[in-house]
């Protein structure tokens, strides 16, 4: 079997994830950003609001949201948007006419 030849080395992984070093949620309990099973009503609204307050102060919010949209993250709050909000955003993007 012939040896594989790498034409180009992949970029350092840390470079793509460097923004996470500045994440406003680094020292926050991750469960704030992901809903537990069967969470409904006021409990859910309160958790979402608390997570969004953290995101609202985050200096890498744009990068976080871009990552979530690009990678198709289906769960959790990313870039200050919930799963449902990201889904609506993707649908709106698809409906937008190409200029």
What residue numbers does the annotated binding site for [4Fe-4S] cluster cover?
25, 55, 58, 64
Give the residue numbers of the binding site: 25, 55, 58, 64
DSSP H helical ranges for the chain: 13-17, 41-56, 61-71, 83-95
Chain residues 14-53 in contact with ligand SF4, contact rule CB under 6 A = 23-25, 33
**Cβ nearer to ligand SF4, comparing 90 with 98:** 90
Residues 99 and 79 sit within 8 Å (Cβ to Cβ): no
User: What minimum distance in Å lies between the beta carbon of 82 and ligand SF4?
Assistant: 11
The answer to whether 79 and 62 have CB atoms below 8 angstroms apart is: yes
Determine the 3-state secondary structure of 81 from DSSP. Answer: strand
Q: Is the distance from CB of 51 to CB of 64 less than 8 angstroms?
A: no
- Binders in 70-89 for ligand SF4, by CB under 6 A: 77-80
Q: How many residues bind ligand SF4 (CB under 6 A)?
A: 14
Question: What is the contact surface with ligand SF4 in residues (CB under 6 A)?
Answer: 23-25, 33, 54-55, 58, 60-61, 64, 77-80
């Amino acid at each position: 079997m012939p040896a594989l030849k790498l034409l180009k080395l992949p970029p350092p992984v840390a470079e793509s994830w460097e923004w996470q070093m500045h994440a406003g949620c680094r020292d926050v309990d991750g469960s704030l950003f992901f809903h537990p099973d069967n969470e409904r009503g006021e409990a859910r609204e309160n958790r979402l609001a608390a997570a969004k307050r953290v995101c609202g102060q985050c200096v890498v919010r744009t990068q976080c949201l871009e990552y979530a949209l690009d990678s198709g993250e289906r769960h959790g709050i990313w870039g200050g948007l919930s799963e449902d909000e990201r889904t609506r955003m993707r649908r709106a993007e698809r409906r937008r006419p190409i200029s």
